[in-house]
């Protein structure tokens, strides 16, 4: 039996208020976890659930938590709500419709890992949502789900909302930590990994909003149930965000492994009137592009890797045949050039260089060798940068340029 | 004392087995094995930054290229520093760096001394494919008393920013904006005004920060360098003296063009202060280069060669007349351990001279980091040898003195000319050994030109008691000669323990003899 | 005159600072408050924030120029930010910007002479399902077309 997990009650009026949330069974998972479970049991359950990170990288959450060393240092939880990957808007829905589901996840995660301070790092533009989160947090304090000695378990937790200020790179976990510490969002060298040396040099868990929002459901219904909502190695549902040239853009919570073709043509209503499918970006802008004949594919981490793309943030951007691929490439290259933090050489200069070439082509001043230059430069960025942004930029640039080379050459 | 060393493990670099210290990085292990891995942002003084991406190497079992600067070695690790993939990646990084670089090497002061140039020569030599407009930035931003920042040449290694954050903790420079618009910058109205600013030009791997003290005065490839010790305070910072060996066809205004820091973890780390860096004019200005005779007493012509015999005779006469109480000495602590030791042996131990004064520059203020309050390099040495560092008292000096041996040019800074003349006029015979000319030259009967620390051999004892040897970098000008030579000849001349003095053919021999007499100077590993 | 925070704001800042084990971590929240109170973050505001946190103004400048939400110059009363990223441009964000340029008589990055509107094009705002989308100050507007934007802008005083 597959069902909606995260978005089930999204239609409900005032779900963001704690009373309404509790009427739907809200905070029962917290009670169960804090009163009836040991941290080790929670960790075991989350590991068994094969909950993979929903931010993009798909790292199993339980495994990530288990990397946190046993120390006397304070430990932190950072919820990554810096949703900035183009084509992605699912976390916005979760936080604005059901902030308490996220807070519950934060409480249980913190209890499990032994954390007493959690920060929700939310992108600066989501100011209204940040306010909603803060209201929800203060409701949770009032009801005794946050603060000192929560539900008389002896467990203390404070949660703060921390707003970013306009920098895509801060969605990268170590850049997020730098930003949260009050610095420029320059990613850190790894190792050490945040689980051992993270926020304020202390062990830190960083998980995406959607990842954390699944926790209460796993606790209530168990790992086995959770796996049944998705795939054995990839438990649960995914909230797919569909945008671009479809009839019904929006979020669709579906089991992992749902076919991309079905998402576009069944769930999102197919192409807009008179438009034909040309290409799809399946997992946020960083995911390599798929052509119209590559969409018979299951939407889960492994299937997409097999197709040389990635599930990423599950933001699906649907491109129609009237759209010039050069325009797409221009938007893509401008974005990464604008969002490169500038710290490391290949990303700082490579992305700007490629964008300069693409702009020149768009101005009608393309040269024969430009396409090869783009491919060469993007390959030189790929794998050689300090953080994943280099690959995130190179992957779409390479795939677009390779798969639509003929069309691009027609502009030269 | 046994130094604590880490366990050694075996790794392979370019297929060759290499011993590496456990816990060290690939880059350090390679350097230890004599293999240079190119790098720009990495500097041994700071934690790895990993931003330039020049030091990427291939490590077996790792899918991506890894940073040599930050990857810690593991037993049996197999590293390639020259594989095709590595070379291609280096080329790629260089191509990126050069794309937005102005390539204004002909007018860049760093040319010839620039890592970007060196690496291009080694890994690049490709034709530029960059056909776009380069970013425009500030080309000549004055950021400190003698520092110029060229943002277009900057490769954003941020060594300068990190230096000011971690070493001086003044945070004068920062990175503004982001992406390709990122640039190192200074806050309006602010300036790098600390005593270590010169290190910025030195650690800049490219021509982004240049030093007005050096800029456009010569080209770096004309210069030679030699290792020395900075004498301008008692820290004893290890330095490199960069000098022009000269042209045959025209005369240069000076020999020394630049002082650089030389790494010594025990003394100065990687840095020197601006006082030491910029205060080198004494090496070339107003140098005494020939003997000056102001008073003739019908004697033979004095030369630097026969001066010890002349002085020896004078002293012998005083000694046989039991008038050694009429001898006075003015010393200073730019003299080496060996020279001070000889002075101590001859005058204090043997001749029992009591009037021994010191004339150094007045104490300054320590800066809390390297610069000490003592403006000379060997006060500690003088103390360990057994001198009581008494400043010159003109009254006591002149009282009953008829023979004065004075060393150094510093006396003139301590008293007015009138007072000096008044005191010295009372002394019958007075001889000065000095490296730099000043008003003292006219107040003594004979002035003998002597070598500076950069021009002779010896050792100094720094404020912390570390004894550091030095070798001559420059030729002593003209007739000038090192004091230790005159003094050991004088000892022989005086016939004092001829066996003892005849051993002294070098400062090294003197130091080894010192070790026998004074435990402090016994070599630690003897 | 150099800017100064009100007593109330100072209290709020103290509260924020107390959340973090290191004072500097409070800088982004404080910059948001500063931006709200003074409308821009010029050198004067940078110095004010630096003073509060006991850091150098250059450290504030490093952040202010890194993040996009702290303009140096004051913006218009209404800051119109039009998304120019992929989903929005697929659905005509480009034409929509052209329409605004014509309607307001300013180019992206400029402010109308009456200081009422500032127009910016920005990267993804995270509302792709409502493309083309824009923000006016902190309110989101989706499915934009000339008619809709006319209604919205005409409703703003």
C19/chain A closest Cα distance in angstroms:
8
Say if residue B370 is in the same domain as residue B443.
yes
Residues of chain A contacting C97 with CB distance shorter than 8 Å: none
A98/chain B closest Cα distance in angstroms:
35
Helices (H), B124-261: 159-166, 198-203
> C7-64 and C78-154 share one CATH topology?
no
User: Taking a contact as any Cβ pair under 8 Å apart, which residues of chain C between 54 and 93 contact chain B?
Assistant: 56-59, 61-62, 65-66
Residue B406 lies in a domain: yes
pLDDT at B296: 74
pLDDT at A163: 98
**Look-up of token digits 């932190």:** A76
Kindly identify which residue of chain C lies nearest to residue B175, measuring between CA atoms: C62
Centroid of chain to Cα B405 = 29
Sign of torsion, CA A401 A403 A405 A407? Answer: negative
**Is C25 touching B (CB cutoff 8 A)?**
no
* Residues A232-243 pLDDT 10s: 999 999 999 999
Inter-chain CB proximity C22 and A200 less than 8 Å: yes
Long-range contacts of B249-257 (CB under 8 A, 24+ apart): B254/B281, B254/B283, B254/B284, B254/B285, B255/B283, B255/B284, B255/B474, B256/B280, B256/B283, B256/B284, B256/B454, B256/B474, B257/B214, B257/B217, B257/B218, B257/B223
Say if residue B104 is in the same domain as residue B65.
no
User: Taking a contact as any Cβ pair under 8 Å apart, which residues of chain B between 178 and 217 contact chain A?
Assistant: 178-182
Inter-chain CB proximity A123 and C84 less than 8 Å: no
Say if residue B370 is in the same domain as residue B504.
yes
Residues of chain A contacting B131 with CB distance shorter than 8 Å: 357, 360, 367
- Which of B73, B95, B117 marks a domain boundary? B95
Residues of chain A contacting B64 with CB distance shorter than 8 Å: 383-384
Give me the tens of pLDDT residue by residue for chain B, a chain 526 residues long.
445 567 899 999 999 999 999 999 999 999 999 999 999 999 999 999 999 999 999 999 999 999 999 999 999 999 999 999 999 999 999 999 999 999 999 999 999 999 999 999 998 778 889 999 999 999 999 999 899 999 999 999 999 999 999 999 999 999 999 999 999 999 999 999 999 999 999 999 999 999 999 999 999 999 999 999 999 999 999 999 999 998 767 788 899 999 999 999 999 999 999 999 999 999 999 999 999 999 876 556 888 888 999 999 999 988 888 888 899 999 999 999 999 999 999 999 989 999 999 999 999 999 999 999 999 999 999 999 999 999 999 999 999 999 999 999 999 989 999 999 999 999 999 999 999 999 999 999 999 999 999 999 999 999 999 999 999 999 999 999 999 999 999 988 887 765 666 667 899 999 998 999 999 999 765 4
A343/chain B closest Cα distance in angstroms:
6
Tokens of B505: 């053919």
Partner residue opposite A356 with nearest CB, options B56, B132, B182:
B132
Kindly identify which residue of chain A lies nearest to residue C94, measuring between CA atoms: A327
* Residues C54-95 pLDDT 10s: 999 999 999 999 999 999 999 999 999 999 999 999 999 999
Residue B434 lies in a domain: yes
Q: Which of B82, B98, B77, B91 is nearest to B20 (CA)?
A: B77
| Domain count for chain B | 3
Inter-chain CB proximity B174 and C43 less than 8 Å: no
Residue B67 lies in a domain: yes
Inter-chain CB proximity C129 and A89 less than 8 Å: yes
CATH number at residue B19: 3.10.20.740
Kindly identify which residue of chain A lies nearest to residue B174, measuring between CA atoms: A184
**Angstrom distance (rounded) from CA A370 to CA A362:** 12
Interface test with B, best of C56, C58, C60, C65 (most B CBs within 10 A): C58
Identify whether the C-beta of residue B216 lies closer than 8 Å to the C-beta of residue A388.
no
Say if residue B346 is in the same domain as residue B440.
yes
Residues of chain B contacting C56 with CB distance shorter than 8 Å: 171, 187
Say if residue B34 is in the same domain as residue B175.
no
Q: Which of B269, B271, B275 is nearest to B260 (CA)?
A: B271
Question: Kind and range of the H or E element at A137?
Answer: helix A127-142
Partner residue opposite C67 with nearest CB, options A128, A167, A319:
A167
**Angstrom distance (rounded) from CA B525 to CA A361:** 71
Question: Kind and range of the H or E element at A117?
Answer: strand A117-122
Say if residue B64 is in the same domain as residue B124.
no
Say if residue B185 is in the same domain as residue B149.
yes
pLDDT at B324: 83
**Is C139 touching A (CB cutoff 8 A)?**
yes
**Angstrom distance (rounded) from CA A304 to CA A256:** 11
**Is B143 touching C (CB cutoff 8 A)?**
no
Residue B261 lies in a domain: no
Q: Which fold has domain C78-154?
A: Glutaredoxin (3.40.30)
B163/chain C closest Cα distance in angstroms:
15
Helices (H), B274-321: 274-278, 307-320
Say if residue B369 is in the same domain as residue B514.
yes
Say if residue B455 is in the same domain as residue B422.
yes
**Angstrom distance (rounded) from CA B203 to CA B212:** 15
Kindly identify which residue of chain A lies nearest to residue B134, measuring between CA atoms: A353
Q: Which of B386, B476, B384 is nearest to B433 (CA)?
A: B476
User: Taking a contact as any Cβ pair under 8 Å apart, which residues of chain C between 88 and 117 contact chain A?
Assistant: 89-91
Partner residue opposite A341 with nearest CB, options B99, B130, B178:
B178
CATH number at residue B124: 3.30.70.20
Inter-chain CB proximity A342 and B179 less than 8 Å: yes
Kindly identify which residue of chain A lies nearest to residue B180, measuring between CA atoms: A348
The mean pLDDT of A367-372, rounded to a whole number, is: 96
**Angstrom distance (rounded) from CA B85 to CA B77:** 18
Question: Kind and range of the H or E element at C146?
Answer: helix C146-154
Q: Which of B195, B196, B237 is nearest to B463 (CA)?
A: B237
Residue B237 lies in a domain: no
Kindly identify which residue of chain C lies nearest to residue B176, measuring between CA atoms: C62
Residues spanned by the domain of B314: 292-521
Residue B224 lies in a domain: no
Residues of chain B contacting A164 with CB distance shorter than 8 Å: none
Domains of chain A and CATH, by start? 18-228 (3.40.50.11540), 237-320 (3.10.20.600), 325-409 (1.20.1440.230)
Number of neighbours of residue A339 by Cβ within 10 angstroms: 27
Kindly identify which residue of chain C lies nearest to residue A252, measuring between CA atoms: C129
Interface test with C, best of A7, A86, A273 (most C CBs within 10 A): A86
Say if residue B447 is in the same domain as residue B487.
yes
Residues of chain C contacting B185 with CB distance shorter than 8 Å: 61
Inter-chain CB proximity B65 and A383 less than 8 Å: yes
pLDDT at B1: 41
Task: Map out the domains of chain C as residue ranges.
Answer: 7-64, 78-154
**Is C95 touching B (CB cutoff 8 A)?**
no
- Which of B159, B185, B211 marks a domain boundary? B211
Inter-chain CB proximity B187 and C66 less than 8 Å: no
pLDDT at C127: 96
Inter-chain CB proximity C126 and A89 less than 8 Å: yes
Inter-chain CB proximity C61 and B190 less than 8 Å: no
Partner residue opposite C126 with nearest CB, options A74, A123, A185:
A123
B274/chain A closest Cα distance in angstroms:
30
Residue B459 lies in a domain: yes
Say if residue B338 is in the same domain as residue B436.
yes
- How does B147-167 read in b/e, with b if 16+ C-beta sit within 10 Å? bbbbbbbbbbbbbbbbbbbeb
**Is A380 touching B (CB cutoff 8 A)?**
yes
**Angstrom distance (rounded) from CA B168 to CA A311:** 47
List the subunits that have 3+ CB pairs under 8 angstroms with B. A, C
pLDDT at B526: 47
B200/chain C closest Cα distance in angstroms:
18
Partner residue opposite A384 with nearest CB, options B56, B100, B155:
B56
The CATH-assigned architecture of domain C7-64 is Orthogonal Bundle (1.10)
Tokens of B355: 């009037």
**Is B126 touching A (CB cutoff 8 A)?**
no
Identify whether the C-beta of residue A244 lies closer than 8 Å to the C-beta of residue A289.
no
Contacts with B61 (C-beta within 8 Å, 6 or more apart), sequence order: B78
Inter-chain CB proximity A167 and C32 less than 8 Å: no
**Angstrom distance (rounded) from CA A284 to CA A281:** 7
**Is C58 touching A (CB cutoff 8 A)?**
no
Partner residue opposite B96 with nearest CB, options A346, A356, A360:
A346
Sheet holding B355-358, edge to edge: B292-293, B446-449, B429-434, B403-407, B327-331, B355-358
Torsion angle (degrees, nearest 10) of CA A100, A104, A105, A110: 130
Partner residue opposite A163 with nearest CB, options C32, C129, C135:
C32
Kindly identify which residue of chain C lies nearest to residue A319, measuring between CA atoms: C90
Identify whether the C-beta of residue C27 lies closer than 8 Å to the C-beta of residue C13.
no
Residues of chain C contacting A244 with CB distance shorter than 8 Å: 86-87, 90-91, 128, 131
pLDDT at B505: 82
- Which of B211, B238, B267 marks a domain boundary? B211
Residues of chain A contacting B92 with CB distance shorter than 8 Å: 346, 380, 384
User: Which is it for strands B56-59 and B78-80: parallel, antiparallel or unpaired?
Assistant: antiparallel
Say if residue B15 is in the same domain as residue B90.
yes
C63/chain A closest Cα distance in angstroms:
5
Q: Which of A269, A379, B140 is nearest to A277 (CA)?
A: A269
Inter-chain CB proximity C61 and B186 less than 8 Å: no
**Angstrom distance (rounded) from CA A11 to CA B392:** 95
């Amino acid at each position: 039996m597959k069902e909606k997990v995260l978005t089930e009650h999204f239609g409900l009026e005032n779900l963001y208020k704690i009373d309404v949330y509790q009427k739907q069974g809200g905070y029962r998972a917290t009670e169960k976890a804090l009163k009836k479970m040991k941290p080790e049991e929670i960790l075991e359950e989350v590991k068994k659930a094969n909950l993979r990170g929903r931010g993009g990288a798909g790292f199993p959450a339980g495994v990530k938590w288990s990397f946190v060393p046993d120390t006397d240092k304070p430990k932190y939880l950072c919820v990554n709500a810096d949703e900035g990957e183009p084509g992605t808007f699912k976390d916005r829905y979760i936080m604005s419709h059901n902030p308490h589901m996220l807070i519950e996840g934060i409480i249980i995660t913190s209890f499990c890992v032994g954390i007493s301070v959690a920060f929700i790092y939310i992108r600066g533009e989501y100011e209204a949502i940040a306010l909603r989160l803060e209201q929800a947090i203060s409701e949770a304090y009032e009801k005794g789900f946050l603060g000192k000695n929560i539900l008389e378990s002896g467990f203390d937790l404070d949660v703060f909302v921390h707003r970013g200020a306009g920098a895509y790179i801060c969605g990268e976990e170590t850049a997020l930590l730098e930003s949260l510490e009050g610095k420029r969002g320059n990613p850190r060298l790894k190792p050490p990994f945040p689980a051992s040396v993270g926020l304020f040099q202390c062990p830190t868990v960083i998980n995406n909003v959607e990842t954390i929002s699944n926790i209460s459901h796993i606790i209530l219904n168990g790992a086995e149930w959770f796996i049944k909502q998705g795939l054995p190695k990839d438990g649960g549902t995914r909230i797919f965000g569909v945008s671009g040239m479809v009839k019904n853009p929006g979020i669709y919570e579906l089991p992992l492994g749902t076919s991309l073709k079905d998402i576009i043509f069944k769930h999102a209503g197919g192409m807009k009137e008179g438009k034909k499918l040309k290409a799809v970006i399946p997992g946020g802008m960083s995911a390599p592009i798929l052509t119209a004949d590559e969409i018979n594919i299951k939407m889960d981490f492994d299937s997409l890797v097999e197709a040389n793309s990635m599930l990423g943030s599950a933001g699906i951007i649907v491109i129609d045949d009237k759209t010039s691929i050069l325009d797409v490439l221009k938007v893509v290259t401008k974005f990464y050039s604008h969002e490169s933090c500038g710290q490391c050489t290949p990303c700082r200069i490579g992305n700007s260089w490629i964008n300069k070439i693409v702009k020149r082509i768009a101005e009608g001043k393309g040269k024969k060798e430009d396409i090869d230059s783009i491919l060469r430069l993007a390959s030189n960025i790929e794998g050689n940068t300090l953080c994943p942004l280099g690959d995130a930029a190179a992957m779409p640039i390479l795939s677009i340029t390779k798969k639509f080379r003929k069309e691009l050459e027609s502009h030269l | 004392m046994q130094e604590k060393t880490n366990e050694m493990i075996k790794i392979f670099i370019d297929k060759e087995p290499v011993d590496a210290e456990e816990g060290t990085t690939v880059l350090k292990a390679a350097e230890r094995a004599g293999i240079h891995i190119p790098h720009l942002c990495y500097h041994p003084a700071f934690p790895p930054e990993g931003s330039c991406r020049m030091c990427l190497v291939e490590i077996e079992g790792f899918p991506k290229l890894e940073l040599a600067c930050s990857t810690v070695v593991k037993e049996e690790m197999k590293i390639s520093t020259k594989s095709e993939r590595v070379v291609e990646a280096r080329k790629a990084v260089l191509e990126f760096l050069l794309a937005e670089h102005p390539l204004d090497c002909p007018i860049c002061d760093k040319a010839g001394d620039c890592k970007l140039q060196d690496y291009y020569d080694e890994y690049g030599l490709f034709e530029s494919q960059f056909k776009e407009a380069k970013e425009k930035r500030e080309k000549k931003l004055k950021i400190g008393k003698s520092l110029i920042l060229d943002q277009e040449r900057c490769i954003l290694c941020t060594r300068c920013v990190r230096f000011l954050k971690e070493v001086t903790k003044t945070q004068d420079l920062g990175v503004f904006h982001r992406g390709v618009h990122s640039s190192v910058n200074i806050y309006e109205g602010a300036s790098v005004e600390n005593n270590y600013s010169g290190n910025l030009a030195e650690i800049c791997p490219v021509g982004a920060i240049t030093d007005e003290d050096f800029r456009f005065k010569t080209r770096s490839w004309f210069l030679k360098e030699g290792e020395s010790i900075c004498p301008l305070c008692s820290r004893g910072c290890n330095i490199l003296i960069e000098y022009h060996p000269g042209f045959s066809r025209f005369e240069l205004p000076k020999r020394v063009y630049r002082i650089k820091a030389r790494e010594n973890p025990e003394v100065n780390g990687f840095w020197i202060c601006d006082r030491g860096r910029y205060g080198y004019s004494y090496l070339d200005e107003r140098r005494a280069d020939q003997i000056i005779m102001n008073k003739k007493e019908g004697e033979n012509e004095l030369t630097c060669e026969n001066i010890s015999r002349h002085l020896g005779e004078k002293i012998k006469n005083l000694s046989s007349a039991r008038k050694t109480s009429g001898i006075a000495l003015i010393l200073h602590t730019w003299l080496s351990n060996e020279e001070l030791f000889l002075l101590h042996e001859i005058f204090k131990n043997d001749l029992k001279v009591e009037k021994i004064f010191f004339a150094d520059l007045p104490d300054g203020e320590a800066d809390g980091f390297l610069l000490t309050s003592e403006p000379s390099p060997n006060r500690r040495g003088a103390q360990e040898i057994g001198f009581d560092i008494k400043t010159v008292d003109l009254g006591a000096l002149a009282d009953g003195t008829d023979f004065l041996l004075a060393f150094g040019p510093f006396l003139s800074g301590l008293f007015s000319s009138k007072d000096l003349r008044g005191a010295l006029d009372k002394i019958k015979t007075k001889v000065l050994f000095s490296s730099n000319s000043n008003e003292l030259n006219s107040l003594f009967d004979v002035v003998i030109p002597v070598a500076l620390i950069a021009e002779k051999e010896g050792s100094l004892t720094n404020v912390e008691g570390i004894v550091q040897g030095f070798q001559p970098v420059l030729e002593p000008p003209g007739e000038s000669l090192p004091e230790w030579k005159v003094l050991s000849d004088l000892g022989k001349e005086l016939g004092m323990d001829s066996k003892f003095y005849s051993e002294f053919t070098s400062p090294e021999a003197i130091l080894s003899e010192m070790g026998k007499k004074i435990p402090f100077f016994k070599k630690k590993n003897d | 005159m150099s800017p100064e925070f009100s007593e109330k704001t100072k209290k709020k800042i103290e509260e924020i600072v107390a959340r973090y084990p290191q004072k500097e971590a409070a800088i982004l929240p404080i910059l948001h408050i500063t931006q709200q109170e003074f409308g821009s973050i010029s050198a004067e505001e940078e110095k004010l924030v630096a003073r509060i946190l006991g850091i150098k103004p250059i450290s504030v400048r490093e952040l202010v120029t890194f993040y996009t939400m702290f303009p140096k110059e004051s913006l218009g009363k209404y800051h119109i930010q039009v998304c120019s990223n992929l989903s929005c441009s697929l659905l005509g964000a480009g034409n929509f910007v052209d329409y605004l340029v014509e309607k307001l008589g300013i180019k992206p990055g400029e402010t109308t002479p009456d200081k009422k509107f500032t127009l910016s094009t920005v990267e993804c705002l995270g509302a792709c399902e409502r493309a083309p989308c824009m923000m006016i100050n902190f309110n989101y507007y989706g499915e934009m077309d000339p008619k809709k934007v006319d209604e919205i802008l005409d409703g703003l005083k």
